[in-house]
Chain A
């Protein structure tokens, strides 16, 4: 890239010619405030918080969209600039509830920090306020439009990154809002519950449905035996809630914290991730060998599942019938576990900690229960677990490392990598190859399916079967692209992995928030930084293949029989529902040629 010289407040600096003034200033050590801007996602120059003075340019300019050029002279904190930024914030606050004390985002809100940074001490405009009701229609997402500052970050993520297109800018002027069309609640439309909108919202306008209250209650109830499972991606990010550097694995401290919170047994979703590989892997083998429906598509990601149910109903038969690891765990926590421990199954309260908001929706699907008793009673996001640990006053950073309880706390490296895009595929191949070929996979690490590329492909030669073509997509826009290619017959695969969130679960909608400024300062995508913790866990384990997990062998011996047995089918498999994309009936349309 060609380099240009620019002057930021008189400081000379060389930057690539495709930089914006915002990025160049950051390199010169000046953090220009931003609000609507979000690296790679929302670059629309709408809020005018990032104003700067530029020599020879008329008026103040939005630095987040202003390109650098040779010799450009920029002034980032002149009195004019500071006054203009301050009045932008004051204007926003004049139509804002100012409920910081009770707001879910207090101390972690980009608007609140800006008000402080800009030195806003009172709010001079006292105009009319727009009042909106809380949208409580969704099992996963709460929308509080009265706190929305119309930055449209969520609109960009929902329309471009996820291509679900639920959220949009509606009306204009004073009446403008961001939300689903026709006044529907977010839980009444084709929202996938992925939570990516929460992750990008700078304020408290979007948040997850709270499950902490019910968990505190269960923990305090002596008649309940409370068990907890933690998904692989949680340990790769929970440390961030306590100021640890991104990418620090905190498995041991997390287990210790959960014990101190009072959970009766601290287990691990790694166990049921291994079980998923046994069930799903054998399903793949069965469909390959006996000529079942191909490609088999993974079913671990509930955001992806709901997207598929709304948008690709013709592919529902391709989905693996295996429940997600969360739900497999839940089903066993209320059957197998009480049986071997001699506990009354009715006393079990099953909690999961997930990087994901869609898991809250998943756990309340009617098919995820036995005789009306849900397999999973509460789903905490990584953020919610962080909040609980803080509330209990547990000094997380200085906790000793502890190990999860047997038997459902045991997992292999194959289970750990479920937390990143490509991981389920890699874990499945480790087992499928060995079962079909009758000998171990020469190299456990399947490089072509690793990394942040939207769609990844690999071809494997499996002895005793032949060529197997696999593909991996992450983020729903990429999933959509891949499904279009499959539907049209342009691409043929045997096995496909889809994760609904960009980067996989490490980038899930329930993970610690990464502010706009943090994203700017990272050289890589944040998912890539977190991913390092996951791959380190896998490499650090002696057992790296699901079928080698002794606790898995035991559950089949003592309880399930064998993979795909009748009992497995009853407890560990599920079915899907065609849901339609719109809330009204329309005839089939001859669609425009896909862009």
Chain B
């Protein structure tokens, strides 16, 4: 950390945040509402956005970060065009969801939670999708794929490429 006094970061994103704050208000009670709208506008909530919000709303960063990490709706990473969510619930896990996840990581060259460099795919793990009968399952942009094996991975990626 070093001195950042007087640094004038010119960035459209902060102008957008100011507009949202202006509209909703800067009181702590508007935090979730503000975060939701900022995420909608910017796609995700990275560290500089949260730090700026902490300063502009006069709330500790620790609190904002706590809220962001509490609700799975919020993300601190950019989200790709296609969101792959692999269920790691008990049933899926027992039936080999871990291997499928590993295969996706290998083929997309990302770790779970990350987005591919071309911005096409975000790979996520999720809690039980409620489709245990189809285990192991995953969901791409809301479309469910079930009874998978590692061999299916290339095909699924291909469908969305």
Contacts and interface: CB of A to CB of B under 8 A. Distances in A.
A585 interface: yes
A170 B5 contact: no
Interface in B23-76: 26-27, 47-48, 50-52, 54-58, 60-66, 69-70, 76
Contacts of B58: 591-595
Interface residue tally of chain A, by bracket?
35 or more
Interface string A153-175: 00100110001111111111000
Interface in A558-595: 577-595
B14 A586 contact: yes
Nearest to A577: B3
A462 interface: no
Contacts of B66: 168-170
A181 B61 CA distance: 7
A345 interface: no
B47 A182 contact: yes
A164, A172, A190, A582 interface centre (most CB from chain B within 10 Å) = A582
Given A181-B50, A586-B52, A170 B3 contact: no
Given A155-B62, A171-B69, A592 B27 contact: yes
Contacts of B4: 580, 582, 585-586
Contacts of A172: 69-70
B87 to A, nearest CB: 16
Contact of A580 (B2, B8, B11, B69): B2
A91 B39 CA distance: 37
Interface residues of B, number: 35
Given A313-B5, A592-B26, A583 B65 contact: no
B20 to A, nearest CB: 13
Contacts of A189: 1
Interface string A182-203: 1000001110000000000000
Contacts of B8: 587-588
Nearest to B72: A172
B7 interface: yes
A181 B65 contact: yes
B5 A587 contact: no
A117 to B, nearest CB: 32
Contacts, number: 112
Contacts of B52: 586-587, 589
Nearest to B18: A590
Given A155-B62, A171-B70, A589 B3 contact: no
A188 B1 contact: yes
A249 interface: no
Given A155-B62, A180-B62, A313-B5, A586 B69 contact: no
Interface of B is mostly: helix
A588 to B, nearest CB: 7
Contact of A165 (B14, B18, B27, B61): B61
Nearest to A159: B60
Contact of A579 (B1, B14, B48, B60): B1
A163 B63 CA distance: 12
A580 B55 contact: no
Given A170-B65, A582-B51, A587 B9 contact: yes
Nearest to B65: A181
A177 to B, nearest CB: 9
Contacts of B55: 581-582, 586, 589, 591
Contacts of A587: 7-11, 14, 52
Contacts of A582: 1, 4, 47-48, 51, 54-55, 61
Nearest to A309: B3
A141 to B, nearest CB: 15
B51 to A, nearest CB: 4
Nearest to B63: A168
Contacts of B1: 188-190, 310, 579-580, 582-583
Contacts of A310: 1
Contacts of B7: 585, 587
Nearest to A160: B60
Interface in A529-581: 577-581
Interface in B63-107: 63-66, 69-70, 76
B146 to A, nearest CB: 25
Contacts of B54: 165, 582
Given A159-B60, A165-B62, A585-B9, A578 B3 contact: yes
A585 B1 CA distance: 10
Contact of A170 (B6, B50, B56, B69): B69
A4 B85 CA distance: 57
B50 A313 contact: no
A34 B50 CA distance: 35
B57 A592 contact: yes
Given A182-B47, A587-B8, A166 B62 contact: yes
A584 B2 CA distance: 9
B26, B48, B56, B65 interface centre (most CB from chain A within 10 Å) = B65
23 contacts: A159-B62, A164-B60, A166-B62, A168-B61, A168-B63, A169-B66, A171-B70, A172-B70, A181-B65, A190-B1, A313-B3, A577-B3, A578-B3, A580-B2, A581-B55, A582-B4, A584-B47, A584-B48, A585-B4, A586-B9, A587-B52, A592-B27, A593-B58
**9 A-B pairs with least C-beta separation:** A165-B60, A168-B62, A592-B26, A181-B65, A578-B3, A582-B51, A589-B56, A589-B55, A580-B4
